Amino acid sequence: MILITDGGSTKCDWIVVDNNGKQLQEKIRTKGLNPAILKEKKLKKIIKKSDELMKFSDQVTHVFFYGAGCGTANPKAILTEILESIFINAEIEVQEDTMAAVRATINRDDEAAVVCIMGTGSNCSYFDGKRLQQRVISLGYTLMDDASGNYYGKELIRDYYYKKMPEDIKVAFEHKYNLEADYIKYNLYKQPNPNAYLANFAEFMFLNKDSKYIKELIKDGLKRFVTNMIFQYKEEIKIVPVHFAGSIAFYAETEIREVADELGFIVGNFERRPIEGLVEYHTKSL
């Protein structure tokens, strides 16, 4: 029995399949499990709180966990230890979320590509057909994550408070969210997962994409991401496609293609939820 996880900061999707790839129950969803943000006790509590997961805890033979915050050694080791303590009969493999995006978007195992994630957070890597190359170590939502959900949430709130929003967008934004300063600060500084809180505001953009202001906001973030991340691979993107995974990329496909035409790179595949492609990948390789 195999357990495959696509773990973000906002949520985690878990799929349980047998060795032939047959899904044994509906997708299980838990809160996000970013080990770079959450403490060990909280990570363990989130997993154990899911009765649907726990009923398989001693039956699972392999756990393949792909997650935000798993790109550096210490958080990866913490989450591996937690998973080993819960799924006691399983071999555990923890990879950064970028590898999930690679395996879900490339057309064949040995395809070289630049692969980008744009969800709650953002990242970009080069896969040479065998190995993943990361030229920028992500420092998370406070300093990086251009064109991510939390980036756009931050930009919307800043524009609202700096009075840069057009009046019609301002009114719609006020109608949809609680924008009281104390409430925002409470969620940013007193609650867990402030990056996920910020990312919730990104939905507003895609409900208002006909606005010139929103269109420019989206494209400005994308250009920053291309300049800071994709252009780390200037030589590679001359010959390989750039694939995209994550909900922000999925809903911003039109704008991504426009920016690609303007800045000069080849757009490849889009995958909103990488986990579906991972099921086929892992059952094929066992």
User: What digits encode the pLDDT tens for the residues 79-128?
Assistant: 999 999 999 999 999 998 888 889 889 988 889 999 999 998 999 999 99
In the block, which residue shows the tokens 């403490």? 39
CB 63 within 8 A of CB 87: yes
Q: Is 17 left (phi over 0), alpha (psi -120 to 50) or beta?
A: beta
Instruction: For residue 123, give the 3-state DSSP assignment.
Output: strand
**pLDDT for 283:** 77
Tokens representing residue 126 in the block: 């080069």
Which tens digit of pLDDT belongs to each residue from 207-230? Answer: 999 999 999 999 999 999 999 999
In the chain, the N- to C-terminal Cα span, in Å, equals: 11
pLDDT exceeds 80 at position 277: no
Strand partners, 133: 126
Given pLDDT bands bounded at 50, 70 and 90, which one contains residue 279?
A: confident
pTM of the model: 0.81
Q: What is the pLDDT of residues 228-270, one digit of tens each?
A: 999 999 999 999 999 999 999 999 999 999 999 999 999 999 9
Cα dist from 153 to 19, 28, 83, 91, 158, whole Å: 41, 27, 32, 38, 9
**What pLDDT is stored for residue 286 in this prediction?**
66
Contacts of residue 97, defined as CB under 8 A and 6 or more positions apart, other chains included, come to: 6, 7, 8, 66, 67, 68, 70, 71, 117, 123, 274
The 10s digit of each residue's pLDDT in 13-42 is 999 998 777 888 888 999 999 998 889 999
The confidence score (pLDDT) of residue 8 equals 78
Q: Is 50 exposed, middle or buried (0-12, 13-18, 19+ CB in 10 A)?
A: middle
- Please check whether residue 279 is in contact with residue 14, taking contact to mean a CB–CB distance below 8 angstroms: no
Angle at 71 between CA 17 and CA 45, to 5 degrees: 60
Are the C-beta atoms of residues 123 and 116 closer than 8 Å to each other?
A: yes
Residue in 147, 151, 155 with CA at minimum distance from that of residue 256: 147
The confidence score (pLDDT) of residue 278 equals 84
pLDDT band at 161 (very low <50, low <70, confident <90, very high): very high
Q: Is the pLDDT of residue 273 over 90?
A: no
Matching residue, tokens 């910020």: 198
Helices (H), 87-133: 97-105
The DSSP bridge partners found for residue 113 are 127
Strands of 85-139, DSSP E: 91-96, 113-118, 122-127, 132-133
Average pLDDT over residues 187-194: 92
3-class state of residue 80 by DSSP? helix
**Region of poorest pLDDT, from 52-56, 69-73, 142-146, 231-235:** 69-73
Domains and CATH numbers, the chain: 2-100+274-285 (3.30.420.40)
